[in-house]
Amino acid sequence: MAICSSKIVNLTVLFCLIEPFSNAVSFNFTSFTTNNNNISYENAYPASRVIQLTANQRDLQMTASLGRATYYEPMHLWDKATGDLKDFATHFTFTIDSQNRSAYGDGIAFFLAPEGSKIPDNVTKGGNLALASDGIGLNTTVNRFVAVGFDIYRNLWDPEHEHVGIDVDSMKSVANVTWIRYDPKTHNLSVSFTGFRNNTTVMQHLSAIIDLRLYLPDNVTFGFSVATGNASAIHQISSWDFSSSLENDSNTTDPTAATQPNHKKRKNRTGFAVGFGVSGAFVVMVLVGIASLYRKKYQSDEEDGDAIDEAIEDEFERGTGPRKFSYKELVHATDDFNEVQKLGQGGFGYKGFLKDSSSYVAIKRVSSGSRQGIKEYASEVKIISGLRHRNLVQLIGWCHENKQLLLVYEFMPNGSLDSHLFNQNSLLPWELRFKIAQGLASGLLYLHEGWQQCVVHRDIKSSNVLLDSDFNAKLGDFGLARLVDHSKGSQTTVLAGTMGYLAPECHIAGKASKQSDVYSYGVVALELACGRKPIEPKAGEGKVNLVEWVWDLYGRTQLLEACDPRLNGVFTVREMEQLMILGLWCAHPDENSRPSIRQAIHALNFEAPVPVLQSKMPVATYYAPPMSVTPLNQFSSNSTYRNSTRASQFTSSSSSSATASLLLAPPV
């Protein structure tokens, strides 16, 4: 019996040594119970299906309360060998209840810290949110961490009011807001959060450019930290979902698959030697076991691939259209995927030449390392295979071989719109810009009204607008597209799209609709007129956000000041004004105030006037949806906010609640 036990241990050692270098982390907790062993608690506990991070019983000492809740396993944040930084996204719902006290504190932080991080010694002050010891200077490296803090108590180093801050090795935020909106680029550490004002939710954003590799080791602990100091308040986490992956990761941690965490870690080199010290017969057994596992995995992959192929082929059998290519054909077409044939960064991948049709094509390589990649691949093929319109990129064929997912499109010789708008070596004259705006609107009208089902694209942006040899606009990349019945207005789904082009309602509940596509179209229209990106962090005060900047100029009757200076005034004033006002109308914060794409086309063609908009850009407000709509929207009903254009102050009645989203992508 002892021998068998030894073999099992050594088998585990061997498998640990050959497992992938890092695992993805993915989980979704809609509530918390004592049976959930995937959360590690420090001075915190689960109760009433939420995480209680601070004391919440009136007969107990509620001041100087602190607590932490972290995921039970560390996250592999970046790869030391390659320097690759992990992409991750997290959404959580929290509540801070002041219990009608006039003095309350201190706040809550989502943090990342070195693996094994615990509440530091000598923590009594709430301003540190249990992340740093008392007496430590503001800019110290004693306690390493990166955190997003929701701070409700003003310390000496804080801004004047309650704020959200991004903190790096210090409780003095490198970026903070007084509840104002700030849309980040996707490679920034960016925060989107909602609060209440008169029983309506208000969406706000914050970001800062941070290379986490400079501040954190490769493995980190992550979760929530709270401290109250001399004040008190109840801090709770109601839901939490998280997903991450390195570029080559394909494994996912599923907390629902096993309630007991696996605390076995990688063994050292001594363990490796012990593993090889077993008899030859046992080594053979291990190798056979490994081969069996790989065979099962291969068979599973093959079954998945066959299922995808059958599903796609079933779609194509319904009519003529895209055909299936062999991998060998595409290798020949691209000269073995030669780097010379690459079409920019990402995008459509490679340029190829098909000898049988004597035509050039664009071959898009889809990530096959995750279920999401396969899902988007199947979605893109299914949707675009049935679409036929002069302003949509035409799908010619597809390939699923050698664990490769490839889509073959018509080649667009003039590349993407953004490569001309934001390239100093290329200048699009006004006539072409106005023509592109009209063509893009025409393609979008077909998607929304011209096909058997409404297609919501969900990722309209200048980099997805491609230009043929005559600079006709063609909308591409349908990986995030969704089909919606014409009778239904919208579809609630996970947050998807590109920051800067996302409509406010998409942030709050992932609400994809024709109106959210129109919002994105409006942003592209403004890009065409102004020649700049939707978010420019270095643009100066009041100019960072394109829509807000143009709206401000519109309100001051100085709209033409936003025109692309590279045009040198060579444009038709009537068309320029019409396009910019149309862009603002389409990008209206209130989805019900936006035009349909058909109305937008009428205005663009001067068949209908554009409306007179408010002189000041309205604030996006939405009534809180029912709690059953999505676990990311769980709000308390008795919170109030005072709001102004410069600051919004939190006022405690009974409790306040917010939903926060944190998105991080590697620097580009």
Active site residues: 459
β-pairing, 395-401 vs 323-324, is parallel
Alpha carbon dihedral 430, 435, 437, 441, in 10-degree steps, equals 170
CB 465 within 8 A of CB 524: yes
Query: 182-199 b/e with 16+ CB inside 10 Å = b?
Result: bbbbbbbbbbbbbbbbee
φ, ψ for residue 481, nearest 5 deg: -65, 150
Q: What gap in Å lies between CA 74 and CA 86, rounded to an integer?
A: 13
The residue type of 581 is: I
Where residue 384 falls (left for φ over 0; alpha for ψ -120 to 50; beta otherwise) is: alpha
Residue 36, Cα to own-chain centre: how many angstroms? 26
d(CA 53, CA 227): 9
Distance CA(223)–CA(147), nearest Å, equals 10
Q: Round to whole Å and give the CA distance between 153 and 323.
A: 62
Residue 589 sits at φ, ψ, to 5 deg, of -60, -30
Structural Rg of the chain based on CA atoms: 27
- From CA 468, how far away is CA 547, in angstroms rounded? 28
Residue appearing with tokens 């450019």:
209
For 447-473, the three-class secondary structure string (H helix, E strand, C coil) is HHHHCCCEEECCCCCHHHEEECCCCCE
| Cβ-defined contacts of 331-336 (< 8 Å, 24+) | 333/361, 333/363, 334/363
| Beta strand residue intervals within 384-487, DSSP E | 395-401, 404-410, 454-456, 465-467, 473-475, 482-484
Candidates 292, 285, 297, 293; CA nearest to 10 is: 285
Residue (of 471, 462, 481) closest to 395 by Cα position: 481
Helix %, strand %, coil % of the chain (to 5)? 30, 25, 45
**Measured distance CA(413)–CA(432) in Å, rounded:** 15
Longest dimension (CA), the chain: 88
Strands (E), 105-152: 107-114, 146-151
What backbone torsions phi and psi does residue 448 show, to the nearest 5 degrees?
A: -80, -35
Q: Which of 514, 509, 401 is nearest to 447 (CA)?
A: 514
CA distance 642 to 651: 7
Residue owning tokens 């019900």: 592
**What span, in angstroms and rounded, lies between the C-alpha atoms of 95 and 194?**
12
Residue 276: count of CB within 10 angstroms of its CB:
11
Of the CA atoms within 13 Å of residue 252, those in its CB half-sphere come to 15
